[in-house]
Amino acid sequence: MAERYSSFNPGGRLWLWQRITAAFLILVLAFHFFLLHFVHHADEVTFGMSAGRMQTWSYYSLMILFLVTATFHGVNGIYNALVSAGLTGTKRRVVKGVLLVASVLLLVQGFRTANAWAGIDLLPIL
């Protein structure tokens, strides 16, 4: 019988968080499809409507949580897929570092974009 192999430690925290984030992403995507494909049809959606949604605290916080969750889920999944494929040693450390830097850059740009849509200026020009 084939032996199951995973780079996740069974019962470990990363394994658990990968499943939790997957469930959260499914719920948020269902909300997205319902709101933007059934409540409002694509031809009705405007930039102003999108900016208006982002200006409500509940929608803004949901989108920020979605950004963080999707980034973790995606990067953790890529890293573990590469480790499962046999990535070891220095290459593993380099890939881990590159993915970490890419995650930080993605999150910073995501926060900047969300704040711009919401009209939030964290560093006002004096």
Q: What is the CATH number of the domain that holds 112?
A: 1.20.1300
> Are 106 and 122 in contact, with CB atoms under 8 Å apart?
no
Read off the pTM: 0.83
3-state secondary structure of 87: coil
Residue-range definition of the domain harbouring residue 96: 13-118
Q: Per the domain annotation, does 7 fall within a domain? A: no
Chain segment 15-61, per-residue pLDDT in tens: 899 999 999 999 999 998 888 788 887 788 888 888 999 999 999 99
Eight-class DSSP state of 6: -
Q: Per the domain annotation, does 8 fall within a domain? A: no
Structural domains counted in the chain: 1
pLDDT higher than 80, residue 4: no
The token duo for 36 is: 């933007």
Euclidean distance between CA atoms 8 and 18, whole angstroms: 10
Q: Per the domain annotation, does 70 fall within a domain? A: yes
Euclidean distance between CA atoms 105 and 82, whole angstroms: 21
